[in-house]
Structure 1
């Protein structure tokens, strides 16, 4: 049984051939993600010095009738600041992404799924990869066309929230739709 699983994993991981990545090496972003100062969480906010820092352990079951207002304690200043920093970093990352950045499903005119596509759109260069039932390979945008290694090319045009393309593969051309998965 483990031999069958190993063979299935090997088939799923198989690629059409080596593809040199053109992704740039990691460089710290110009706008850093949330990085708390060295005293983060240790400073005491005004008016909060007398309260309990930790909740007491439960000694008996707590019933719903025991609660007067809220089921949870209010978040501490450190928790609020951290959540705001993470949300801010996510917003900045989304603002830096191009319109094709993300996960896409490519379907034909009848709605049949042809393959899935993941693209990294950093503005200057768009690249990624595709995977379908018949194989997988790299993807790269060049002059408004998406070159799909081992499959063909797709000429892209925006259609509202989705993208349409004329996919040329296996000697034939057909219209496909790219729909964002997440």
Structure 2
């Protein structure tokens, strides 16, 4: 029993993932959360109309379509869509420069990796990558991008088209560009 406990203490432990080093904190921009009276307000003016459409009796062909099959959205649907759009715009305004979908290409223009990064503007940048060789997680501190699970390390330098740098995998280094997909 004592030997097993000592062996457990002496066995090297894997370093925790960078995302596990910080405690959870709620996002600075909360998602759209409607108030308690949302949907219970009565429509004013000529906003009260059909709230649902009658069922279709037969398939509608493109040639017969005249736009009468949709109903005007209700005030509740309009308010909800506006709230979601507003929350999305506020979240986009606080995002950092690495936020989004990127493609890493070599000097010949061949795609090496597709990556998706979540950059909140503060703290570590996290995401994932995939290539023909596999896939894994990705972490960045703004100067380097580590493609975990054997993907390599990319040094980052701003350029007009996005980012550029050098990719090091298995001791081999080569220049790369990091741009938004076409």
Is 1:21 matched with 2:20? no
Aligned residue runs from structure 1 range 31-42, under 5 A? 31-42=29-40
Task: For residues 3-25 of structure 1, give each alpha carbon's deviation from its aligned partner in whole angstroms, at most 9, with x where no partner exists.
Answer: xxxxxxxxxxxxxxx77332255
Is 1:148 matched with 2:142? no
Question: Following the alignment from structure 2 to structure 1, what is the Cα–Cα distance between the partners of residues 120 and 48?
Answer: 49
Higher-RCO chain (CA-CA 8 Å, sequence separation at least 6): 1
Q: TM-score with structure 1 length normalisation?
A: 0.70
Residue 133 (structure 1) aligns with: 132
Question: Following the alignment from structure 1 to structure 2, what is the Cα–Cα distance between the partners of residues 176 and 161?
Answer: 12
SS class of match (1:84): helix
Residue 170 (structure 2) aligns with: 170
Residue 81 (structure 1) aligns with: 79
Task: For residues 42-84 of structure 1, give each alpha carbon's deviation from its aligned partner in whole angstroms, at most 9, with x where no partner exists.
Answer: 22122248644444445688898896x8653322211111110
Q: TM-score with structure 2 length normalisation?
A: 0.70
Task: Return the offset for 1:38.
Answer: 2.6
Q: Is the 8 A contact 2:138 2:145 kept in 1?
A: yes
SS class of match (2:35): coil
Task: Return the offset for 1:36.
Answer: 1.7
**Structure 2 stretches lacking a partner, 5+ long:** 1-13
Indicate how the Cα distance of structure 1 residues 151 and 49 shifts in structure 2: closer, same or farther if over 3 A, else same.
closer
Aligned-pair Cα RMSD in Å: 3.2
Q: Is the 8 A contact 1:106 1:115 kept in 2?
A: yes
Indicate how the Cα distance of structure 1 residues 52 and 173 shifts in structure 2: closer, same or farther if over 3 A, else same.
closer
Indicate how the Cα distance of structure 1 residues 70 and 152 shifts in structure 2: closer, same or farther if over 3 A, else same.
same
Indicate how the Cα distance of structure 1 residues 143 and 70 shifts in structure 2: closer, same or farther if over 3 A, else same.
closer
Residue 157 (structure 2) aligns with: 157
Question: Following the alignment from structure 2 to structure 1, what is the Cα–Cα distance between the partners of residues 118 and 88?
Answer: 16
Question: Following the alignment from structure 2 to structure 1, what is the Cα–Cα distance between the partners of residues 142 and 59?
Answer: 65
Question: Following the alignment from structure 2 to structure 1, what is the Cα–Cα distance between the partners of residues 69 and 101?
Answer: 38
Residue 91 (structure 1) aligns with: 89
Alignment length (residue pairs): 164
**Structure 1 stretches lacking a partner, 5+ long:** 1-17
